């Protein structure tokens, strides 16, 4: 017998809360909306009307709620992740983009918008799902954006997300050697590299069990890839070009030290919307 959508929501939210899911009501709403192929606003209207959920949809919802209660990422269940104005395809094998990265990419977008060049160039090193590169390419359409990803699985997701974006080029390769043809010409290099120390295993099961290890762990202090990027970005950027690095909230000082030792100037660490250190920028001399 069909149940009211509002009743299903209460049951689903309670199951997720009992499983320790951080935002059980929000996740329950998003999963119901996904099953019913509607937005959250439409879902709210359907509940006000007293609409039912049909048995086949209820069965599918029950399966998704069970998987979410087992701490499978919400984005893997819906197949999408929101990032700024974008809706990205994501799933196993690719790092799920985080809201805090939305503020990090703004530094790159601002620099591209302010560039005197008619076609400024940006590179995203380790693009993952393509979130950062796509934000730059779509919000600064006169820019030329390049992205590299080493993981074949993540590259496949990025290629899917970037399909049809004409000012964006994606390659499968190593960030330490990619784009030799652009040496000394790039306006902005940005990266959200793996920066979790190897022994700092994340507590959240969604991260620990489902995000690719290669996208999380960055050596003993978490900064091995940052060191590689510091050297590579100096080769790629022209004088005065901007480097933007995302990092953990306690890593700003260490990253400024690395950049200072490599000869960068004006290194500065910036907070995200939660007032945690989240990004460090620097200029190539």
Using one digit for the tens of pLDDT, what is the confidence trace for 126-159?
999 999 999 999 999 999 999 999 999 999 999 9
Question: Which residues 6+ apart lie within 8 Å of 132 measured at CB?
Answer: 101, 104, 105, 108, 124, 147, 190, 192
The secondary structure of 66-100, three-state, reads: HHHHCCCCHHHHHCEEEECCEEEECCCCCCCCCHH
Residue 2 has pLDDT above 90, yes or no: no
Long-range contacts, 265-270 (Cβ 8 Å, 24+): 270/107
Residues 74, 60: contact at Cβ < 8 Å?
Answer: no
Using DSSP bridges, classify how beta strands 3-4 and 168-172 pair: parallel, antiparallel or unpaired: unpaired
User: What is the distance between the alpha carbons of residues 126 and 118, in angstroms, rounded to a whole number?
Assistant: 26
Q: How many helices (H) and strands (E) does the chain have?
A: 11, 11
Residues belonging to the chain? 285
Q: What is the pLDDT of residue 103?
A: 96
Q: CATH for 84-283, among 3.40.50.1970, 3.40.50.150, 1.10.357.10, 3.30.1490.190?
A: 3.40.50.150
Taking only the tens place, the pLDDT of each residue in 8-37 is: 999 999 999 999 999 999 999 999 999 999
User: What is the distance between the alpha carbons of residues 136 and 236, in angstroms, rounded to a whole number?
Assistant: 18
Mean pLDDT of the region 193-222? 94
pLDDT band at 6 (very low <50, low <70, confident <90, very high): very high
Q: What is the pLDDT of residue 3?
A: 83
User: What is the distance between the alpha carbons of residues 212 and 76, in angstroms, rounded to a whole number?
Assistant: 13
pTM of the model: 0.93
User: What is the distance between the alpha carbons of residues 207 and 72, in angstroms, rounded to a whole number?
Assistant: 9
At the topology level, CATH places domain 3-70 in: Helicase, Ruva Protein; domain 3 (1.10.8)
Domain boundaries defined on the chain = 3-70, 84-283
Residue 1 has pLDDT above 70, yes or no: no
Average predicted confidence (pLDDT) for the chain? 96
Taking only the tens place, the pLDDT of each residue in 66-116 is: 999 999 999 999 999 999 999 999 999 999 999 999 999 999 999 999 999
**Helix, strand, coil percentages in the chain from 3-state DSSP, rounded to 5:** 45, 20, 35
């Amino acid at each position: 017998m069909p149940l009211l959508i509002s009743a299903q929501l209460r049951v689903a939210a309670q199951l997720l809360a009992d499983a320790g899911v951080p935002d059980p009501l929000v996740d329950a709403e998003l999963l119901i909306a996904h099953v019913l192929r509607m937005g959250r606003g439409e879902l709210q209207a359907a509940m006000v009307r007293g609409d039912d959920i049909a048995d086949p949809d209820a069965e599918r919802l029950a399966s998704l709620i069970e998987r979410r209660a087992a701490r499978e990422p919400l984005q893997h269940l819906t197949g999408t992740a929101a990032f700024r104005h974008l809706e990205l395809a994501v799933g196993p094998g690719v790092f799920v983009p985080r809201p805090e990265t939305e503020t990090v990419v703004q530094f790159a977008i601002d620099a591209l918008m302010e560039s005197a060049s008619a076609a400024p160039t940006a590179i995203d090193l380790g693009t993952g799902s393509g979130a950062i590169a796509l934000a730059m390419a779509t919000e600064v359409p006169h820019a030329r954006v390049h992205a590299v990803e080493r993981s074949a699985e993540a590259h496949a997701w990025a290629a899917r997300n970037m399909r049809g974006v004409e000012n964006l080029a994606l390659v499968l390769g190593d960030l330490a050697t990619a784009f030799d043809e652009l040496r000394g010409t790039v306006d902005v290099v940005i990266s959200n590299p793996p920066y979790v120390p190897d022994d700092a295993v994340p507590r959240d099961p969604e991260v620990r069990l489902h995000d690719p290890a290669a996208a999380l762990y960055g050596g003993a202090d978490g900064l091995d890839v940052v060191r590689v990027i510091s050297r590579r970005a100096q080769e790629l950027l022209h004088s005065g070009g901007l480097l933007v690095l995302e990092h953990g909230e306690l890593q700003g000082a260490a990253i400024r030290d690395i950049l200072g030792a490599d000869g960068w100037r004006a290194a500065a660490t910036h907070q995200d919307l939660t007032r945690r250190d989240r990004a460090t920028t620097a200029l190539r001399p």
